[in-house]
Chain A
Amino acid sequence: QLQLQESGPGLVKPSETLSLTCTVSGGFISSSSFYWGWVRQPPGKGLEWIGSISYSGNTYYNPSLKSRVTVSVVPSQNLFFLKLTSVTAADTAVYYCARHPVDMAARPYGWFDTWGQGTLVTVAS
């Protein structure tokens, strides 16, 4: 059974870089059938997609965050990563990693079918 697990610091100082790792188990990142993404949720608020990556390193990002976001992958270790630079209090959220299948045209435009449990990251000095 596929499982995703987020890990990383729970506290980040303003203006610094938030870095998270997603460990995939029970399956392999190296599949052309899926993309791997990050979604966040500020406390008490809705969901916001951050960015996604394929096993081969193709990325696409939320336009509103694109200038600060990097998503990367190490298929051999079944890991993918999130970096968000110049964080502020507005970046405080539960961060989820999730898998999403590609559609019949191999485009990553679909749903998120498997999620990690999420990790709370607080931005504060």
Chain B
Amino acid sequence: SYVLTQPPSVSVAPGKTARITCGGNNIGIKNVHWYQQKPGQAPVLVIYYDSDRPSGIPERFSGSNSGNTASLTIIRVEAGDEADYFCQVWDSSSGHVFGTGTKVTVL
């Protein structure tokens, strides 16, 4: 089965930049999507097709994907960005696969 690996946690000071990675075998040839999930809430799509932002998502959120690693970058981090973040891809053998998740803590 296809596995997506994320760091368990990322800590960042307000106003700084957070980068969350999502590792998978040849993930660069897949479309990667990212979700933000705050405690007690459903996930919210923040990036789709590697780097596209849904309407209403701030430009501070961006994504990239190449080789074996996809990344979600949040610039000018705010307290409200504190949440869990999950990557997701489609794999022909496994179906929809989610990453292990990364907890972003704003210091």
Does B95 lie at the interface of the complex (its beta carbon under 8 Å from any beta carbon of A)?
yes
- The reply to whether A49 and B93 form a contact with Cβ atoms under 8 Å apart is no
- The reply to whether A112 and B90 form a contact with Cβ atoms under 8 Å apart is no
Looking at B9-17, B74-82, B97-105, the stretch in contact with chain A turns out to be B97-105
- The reply to whether B45 and A113 form a contact with Cβ atoms under 8 Å apart is yes
Does B107 lie at the interface of the complex (its beta carbon under 8 Å from any beta carbon of A)?
no
- The reply to whether B86 and A47 form a contact with Cβ atoms under 8 Å apart is yes
Looking at A57-65, A71-79, A83-91, the stretch in contact with chain B turns out to be A57-65
Within 8 A of A (CB), among B18-62: 31, 33, 35, 41-45, 48-49, 54
Taking Cβ atoms with an 8 Å cutoff, the residues of A that contact B are 37, 39, 46-49, 52, 60-64, 96, 100, 109-113, 115-118
- The reply to whether A111 and B42 form a contact with Cβ atoms under 8 Å apart is no
What does DSSP make chain A's interface, helix, strand, loop or mixed? loop
- The reply to whether B54 and A113 form a contact with Cβ atoms under 8 Å apart is yes
Report how far A46 CA is from B1 CA in the complex, Å.
16
Taking Cβ atoms with an 8 Å cutoff, the residues of B that contact A are 1, 31, 33, 35, 41-45, 48-49, 54, 86, 88, 90, 93-101
Shortest A34–chain B CB gap in Å is 14
- Residues of A within 8 Å of B86, CB to CB, are 46-47
- The reply to whether B33 and A61 form a contact with Cβ atoms under 8 Å apart is no
- Residues of B within 8 Å of A117, CB to CB, are 41-42
- The reply to whether A49 and B100 form a contact with Cβ atoms under 8 Å apart is no
Instruction: Say yes or no: A115-B33 contact (C-beta < 8 A), given A46-B100, A49-B95.
Output: no
Instruction: Say yes or no: A63-B93 contact (C-beta < 8 A), given A46-B86, A47-B98.
Output: yes
Shortest B82–chain A CB gap in Å is 17
Shortest A56–chain B CB gap in Å is 19
